[in-house]
Every structure is written in structure tokens, then in C-alpha cells.
Amino acid sequence: MKRKLTLKSIAKEMDVSISTVSKALRDSPEISEETREKIKAYAKLYNYKPNNIALSLKNRKTNTIGVIIPQIVHHFFTTVIRGIEAEARENNYNVIICLSNNDFDKEVLNMELLANGSTDGFILSVSKETMQKEDYHHLNEVIEQGMPVVMFDRVVEGIPCDRVLINDTQGAKKGVTHMIRSGCRKIGIITSEDYVSVGRLRTEGYLDAHDDFGIEVDENRILKLDNIDDLDESAKKRIKTFIENNDLDGLFTVNELFAVYAARVIAKAGKTVPDDISIVCFTDGELSEHMMPSITAVSQHGEEMGRKAASILINKLERPEDETEEYGTSYIETSLIERESTRKLNR
Amino acid sequence: MKRKLTLKSIAKEMDVSISTVSKALRDSPEISEETREKIKAYAKLYNYKPNNIALSLKNRKTNTIGVIIPQIVHHFFTTVIRGIEAEARENNYNVIICLSNNDFDKEVLNMELLANGSTDGFILSVSKETMQKEDYHHLNEVIEQGMPVVMFDRVVEGIPCDRVLINDTQGAKKGVTHMIRSGCRKIGIITSEDYVSVGRLRTEGYLDAHDDFGIEVDENRILKLDNIDDLDESAKKRIKTFIENNDLDGLFTVNELFAVYAARVIAKAGKTVPDDISIVCFTDGELSEHMMPSITAVSQHGEEMGRKAASILINKLERPEDETEEYGTSYIETSLIERESTRKLNR
DNA sequence: CAACTTAACTTAATCGATTTAGTTAATTAA
DNA sequence: TTAATTAACTAAATCGATTAAGTTAAGTTG
């Protein structure tokens, strides 16, 4: 086993002091041209690379971003990570990803772990449980210690940090408006309870769209489920009853899964999409793209979101004592991807 | 801004030496009961947590696993990561994930970066470009430096490391056998050219299944595409012609995407699944689960694979000088998830 | 009472790198 | 010739933690 080179081992080999080696490698004029070249040649030959850990300790800077997300088995988060990764890499930052599994304790644990020197800052989307508990001491703690935090997608109020958000309200409004324009008048929505911020905002967009066209909203056409992340048996049952008991000609859902399952119920009921009922869902993932019929979707541009979040964080990290204590909220615009589940507009 | 506590700052505050603090916190009998309790109380009150970076440097152990994968926007890799994450967390390890985007240079760069002290070992699935180039110097280098490596799914030969693989041949065989048992006799396969290892192995399984039942294989029923990772326009065209020109009663595909597109072509041709034609695909992802009809799939158990890979790596890391220099290959068994795209067997 | 233990600490080395503050010997200026 | 300057290094502090190796003062033993 070949041991890794260190300044010390090089110094010993070349019979100079450690600081001479360090300075030579950093092209310090304090070291003679001759010695410098000799040391650099040696270092290159044996492929010396400084130890990151030692550098982190010395510089009190890890050049690492901690990312904490509820789930990774989720196309949206996956695309966000990709964006964060890309932006980080371009700026010479590492990325450590931790999953909270929507569990409050795990979120706290992960943050504490990473906060003890492993990362310079955080990008996170808070877990559902955290939102319910409204306990943000772990966030405030790391911020208090001077580590900047950028929240994305699932954000909470009252934390001194930057935010990157999908324009959820407008996205939902775009989708619902599209259906209204195509002639739908009895549009239902499958969304989440209001404590999940994205659910609440998308419901708002749904209402806004109706408002714009002066269409009254029937409360029965709004289904609020507990969980926005997955589709359990109880959710399936509620969606089934919801579809069966409502005479809808349009359906908006806050995620793909709900749309896909609803499509199943609709097909079983002998109705066709989009002739009898149109469908639009939030999130442009693989499901909506490949379903038959494919589903018109509000694309979230996750990668762009990830890049934005990373870029904001890195900016804060690079100019540390620029403590203006000002925090902003950036919005990522959505776009409507028209597919087979909605009727074409005749413009 | 509240500065983080260090042993030094505690020592100063309590008017003792740094080592007294360290020892007190680690319950050393060298320190009197009284002092110990006082220091521990103080540390607890102000929530002292040792700095990971300093510990890593001192212990020459980061308790971090580096994961390098070609893509994250891929359900399979996503599940593998989840498994790695879970296993790592249970054993007190961190996970750093880097994406190679199937790019050789990025794979090398990422490895070098992480190898300089950031991680204790690696779990990786090599990029397509690396396989083509057959340049594995970066792998050999980190191994040479004593960092264990575990390769999964996309592995290459001749590297001294452990491997975790899907039993591809057997998986494909299971799927095809199921269709044969359910009465199919004209089964087609959409696979990849032989140079992609997983494609070749799955084709083998397809042939094996036929062999077992003494069924002759018609060469025309085998479609080999260039790319196994995505579905481009040329692939779509070839799949379309393939389906239309073959009178099939069963279809096996090496991934979900091919199956989903084939299902589209089949539906357009006015045939129904599974009555006219059965479909089984490799990979159990969201697509096969939610399609209508849902698609019977050979599940790869990505999470189990991730756990296995992490567990092997951690084992090596925990018993370092157990240098038996023995490397093993573990196989993750596949399982068939029966869904709506195949006929039920009457047993 | 001198020699020896022991309890309870503190000093200092270490991990690997950077950097400030010395230290030489040679060169230049006065 | 002597002081001042400079080139080219080296020593030592530092980041934050651990730990082997001292160091005291008190208590114990013969």
C-alpha cells in the first residue's frame, strides 16, 4: 500500500522544512527558483494533493454544502439535487446529501451532524413532520452559528434565511386556466391539507383561476389529502369516492401520483380523457410524460431551482462578512407542458 | 453570532486545561468526579459537540462514504442511494454523493477530490464513457492508497474490489419463463447491443428461458438498441417497426421506458394487453407500477443493493488491517412483480 | 521522617496544512 | 570595516481534538 504524500513526507525526502515545501508549491517568492522547481517536480511526479480535511480545519471552511431533503425517490427532488450538484461543482464545492424521510428527528440529527464542521451552509426542504411540529430550533441554531441556510420548495416562515420557491400559486393557476379556456366548467382539485405550504398555495391558484373567470367554486370539488408525497390506501379510497361522487369535466392534482391514480378511476368509470374529463397535474416527471394518455403538467424546473439555491448559498459563503442580514425570496417560474390529457385550445 | 464552543473555549471559561475538558467529557477516571460533572454540565448547557473535521484529521478517518453514480435522475440509482444512506446512517457513516453524468473526466475528478481526505472509501457504478475507454487508473489509484472500493451494477473486470450485482440473466429468465408458462409462444425482446453488459446478460436470460422449454427462438424477435439508458427518436422508430412487423404474443424489455413506449405502439395497433400480447420489463419503477395496464416487472431491489454495497464497504473500513486481499461478488436476487400486463397462471 | 504512591491535573506531541515570525549567511552601503 | 539589507530558509503557532508523558501536592508506607 502506497501511503499518501504529505508536506511532511516530501520535506523529509527533499531534506528541507515543511514550510519550504508548502511555500514552494504555492509559488512563494521566498523560495529560490531552483528549490521551487525541484519540489514542484517531485510533487507532480508523485501526484501530491493536499489533504482536504487538514485544509478545512486550517481555513475553517469545508467548501461543502449540506443538502437535506425529505425524500430522494422523488423525481422533483432528484432534479433539484442535480441542479445543486452542477452549480456546486462549477464553484468548487462539494455536496453532502442527507435524507430526512419526512421525519423530524432525522432532520434535526442530520443537521446537527453536518453542522459540526462538515459543511459551510445548508440547502433544505423541510420535512412534513417539521412543518406540523413547527419546531425550527435546529434551523435557528445553525443560522445563529453563522451558517447560511437556503430553503427551497417546502419552506417555513420566520427563519432568517433565503428562500427559493416555485411560483406554486401561479403554476396551479396556469394549469386550471388552461382547462377553463378549453371549456371545462366543473373542475375538481386533489390537493393537500393547508399546513403543507405547497398544497395550500396550489389550492389558492386553483381558486384564483376560477375567480378570474368569475366561476363559482363548489367546495365539494376540493379534496384535501393528508399526504402530498405518496399515495397510500386511504388516499386511494378517498380519490375514488371523490371522482365517483363528483360530476367533473376537469381535474387538477398537486402531484403526478394523484393524477395517475385518478386517471385509473376515471377509466374504470368508463369515461375518457380528455373528452369527458381533462387532467392537469403539478410536477413534470416521467409518469405524466409516459402515461396513456400522457398528462398535461405544470413543470417545476427543479434543476433550475437547485442551481438557484446553490448559487445563492455559495454567494453568501464567498462574501461572509457581508452581513447585511438581508434575506430574499426567489421564485422559479413554472411552465405548462401541454400533452394528451387536455383538449387543444382553438386560438 | 454565537461562536461554536470548542474544548479551548470551555477550558478557558472553566479555568482548566484543554485536556482536562477533553478527558472530563470522555469520562476519564483521571479527572475528579466533581470537575467532571461541572464540565459536563457546562458542555451540555451550551450544547457542545466536537468538531468533526478536527476528529477526522486526528483519527485519520472521516466516517464518510463517497458514492459516485452516472445519474441520479434514474429511479434505480435513486433507490440504491436510499439503501446506501440507510445502511450508512445506521452505522454512523456520512454519505457524499457525486454525479459523473456518464462522463469519464468528471468521474476521475470527483474521485480525486473525495480521495484527498474527504472519504474513507467508495461505492460506485462506473460511467458509460469509462467502460468504453477502459481507463481505470483512478480506481486503481485510490485502491492503491488503501481506500476500499465497492462497485455495483455497472462493474468492470480486473479491479481489486468487491462487487454487488443484479442477477440479470436469472431475472430476465424469470420474466420470460412467466410469459411462456402463461401460454405465450411468440415472445419478442427489446434489449441492447451486447457490449452493454446488462443488456447482454438479460438477452441471455431470454434465450435460456426458451431453451428450458425447448422453444426455438426466432432471431427476428430480438431487437438490439444502442442505448439502454434513454429512449431517443431513432429508438422509438425501431421499436415501432419491430412491434408492427412481428406477430408477437409476448414482449420482454430490458427497461421500463422501452416497455412503456411499446405499450403505446401496441395500443395504437388496436391490440390489448395482456389478452393479445403480454408485457414484462426489467426494473420495477414508478412507471411500470402506475401505467394502465400496470406492467409486470422484474424488480432489481435497488435499496437492498445499496444496503449490501454499503455494508460490505463499512465492514472493510471497520476492520482495516484485515488485508486478506480477498474480493467477492455478491448477487442481489430479482423478483417478479406480477401486474396487469401478463395473464394469471392457472396453477 | 524519608521514600514511595496516587489523585488530579497540565504539557506537549500529533493529525496535515498554512503563515507569521524568526534565523542565518551573503551582499551592499556608509 | 562595520552596520544594514536581503535572499532563502526554518521554527513555531494555529485550526480543534486526543492522548502519552510529565508535574505537582497530598497521602501512605516502612
- Average pLDDT of chain A? 93
Candidates A118, A138, A272, A273: best to mutate against B (most CBs of B within 10 A) is A118
* CA pair distance B151, A201, nearest whole angstrom: 43
How far apart CA A111 and CA A98 sit, in angstroms, is 9
Cis? peptide before B274, omega within 30° of 0: yes
Read off the pLDDT of residues A111-168 as tens digits, 9 standing for 90 and up: 998 999 999 999 999 998 898 899 999 999 999 999 999 999 989 999 999 999 999 9
Which long-range contacts does A73-76 make (Cβ < 8 Å, 24+ apart)?
A: A73/B75, A73/B78, A73/B79, A73/B82, A74/A229, A75/A256, A75/A283, A75/A285, A75/A286, A75/A287, A75/A302, A75/B73, A76/A153, A76/A283, A76/A285, A76/A300, A76/A302
Residues in chain A within 8 Å Cβ distance of B292: 263-264, 267, 291-292
Cβ of B183 under 8 Å from any chain A Cβ?
no
> pLDDT averaged over chain B?
93
pLDDT, position B130:
87
Do the chains contact at B81 and A98, CB–CB below 8 Å?
no
Place of cell 401478463: B342
Helix (H) / strand (E) element for B152: namely strand B149-152
How many C-beta atoms surround the C-beta of residue A276 within 10 A?
12
Q: Kindly report the backbone phi and psi dihedral angles of residue B303, in degrees, each rounded to the nearest multiple of 5, phi listed first.
A: -60, -45
> Is it the case that residue A74 has pLDDT exceeding 90?
no
A232: cell is: 397510500
Residue B56: list chain A partners with CB under 8 A: 53
Residue A119: predicted pLDDT: 94
**DSSP category for residue B219:** G
Q: Quote the cell numbers at residue B56.
A: 477526522
| B221, B226, B284 from B256: Cα distances, Å | 18, 16, 8
What's the pLDDT score for residue A71? Answer: 81
B274: closest CA of chain A, how far (Å): 16
Q: How far is A214 from chain B (nearest CA, A)?
A: 36
- DSSP of A174-235: HHHHHHHHTT--SEEEEEE-TTSHHHHHHHHHHHHHHHHTTPPPPGGGEEEES-SS---HHH
pLDDT tens digits for A178-229? Answer: 999 999 999 999 999 998 888 999 999 999 999 999 999 999 999 999 988 8
Give dist(CA B95, CA B37) in Å, integer.
Answer: 35
Q: How confident is the model at residue A293 (pLDDT cuts 50, 70, 90)?
A: very high
Cell of A275: 373528452
Q: Which is the CATH superfamily of the domain at B168-300?
A: Response regulator (3.40.50.2300)
CB atoms < 10 A from the CB of A210, how many? 21
What is the distance in angstroms between the Cα of A95 and the nearest Cα belonging to chain B? 6
Architecture per CATH, domain A61-166+302-332, reads as 3-Layer(aba) Sandwich (3.40)
Q: Can you read off the three cell numbers belonging to residue B177?
A: 419463463
Residues A233 and A191: beta-carbon distance below 8 Å = no
Average pLDDT over residues A223-238: 93
Looking at chain A, how many residues does it have?
347
Q: Is the CB of B18 under 7 A from strand D?
A: yes
Going by their DSSP bridges, the two strands B149-152 and B162-166 should be labelled as parallel
Paired sense of beta strands A94-99 and A64-69, if any? parallel
Chain B residues 132-151 with Cβ under 7 Å of strand D are: none
- Identify whether the C-beta of residue B330 lies closer than 8 Å to the C-beta of residue B312: yes
- The verdict on a CB contact (< 8 Å) between A291 and B286 is no
A189, A258 in Cβ contact below 8 A?
A: no
DSSP E strand stretches across chain A? 64-69, 94-99, 121-124, 149-152, 162-166, 187-192, 222-225, 250-253, 278-282, 296-299, 329-332, 335-337
Which residue of chain A comes nearest to B321, CA vs CA? A1
Contact (CB, 8 A) for A204 and A211: no
CATH class, domain B63-166+303-332, is alpha beta
Domains A61-166+302-332 and A168-300 share a fold: yes
CB burial class (10 A; 0-12, 13-18, 19+) of residue A93? Answer: buried
For A284, other C-beta atoms within 10 Å of its C-beta total 25
The confidence band for A316, taking pLDDT boundaries of 50, 70 and 90, is very high
Query: What does the pLDDT read at residue B2?
Result: 77
Nearest-angstrom CA–CA distance, B48 and B9: 10
Within 10 A of B208 (CB to CB), how many other CB atoms are there?
A: 15
Asked if B330 and B264 touch (Cβ cutoff 8 Å), the reply is no
CA B188 – CA B215 distance, rounded (Å): 13
Distance (Å, whole) CA B77 – CA B84: 10
What per-residue confidence (pLDDT) applies to B18?
97
Report the C-alpha gap between B190 and B242 in whole angstroms.
9
The DSSP result for B304-343, as a single string, is HHHHHHHHHHHHHHHSTT-------EEEEPPEEE--TTSP
A81: nearest CA in chain B? B72
CB atoms within 10 A of CB A90: 12
Question: Over the stretch B157-176, which tens digit does the pLDDT of each residue have?
Answer: 899 999 999 999 999 999 99
- Amino acid present at B340: E
Check the CA dihedral A14-A17-A20-A22 and report its sign.
Answer: positive
Nearest-by-Cβ selection for B53 from A4, A56, A113: A56
Q: Which nucleotides of D are covered by protein (CB under 7 A)?
A: 7-12, 14-21
Are the C-beta atoms of A306 and A150 separated by less than 8 Å? no
All residue ranges of chain B with pLDDT < 70 are: 320-324, 347
C-alpha–C-alpha distance, residues B203 and B173, integer Å: 9
Yes or no, beta carbons of A257 and B95 under 8 Å apart: no
- The 10s digit of each residue's pLDDT in B45-70 is 999 999 999 999 999 999 999 999 98
Cross-chain residue pair A292–B267, CB shorter than 8 Å:
yes
Q: Where are the domains of chain A?
A: 7-50, 61-166+302-332, 168-300
Interatomic separation, CA of residue A61 and C1' of nucleotide C23, rounded (Å): 33
CB A96 within 8 A of CB A66: yes
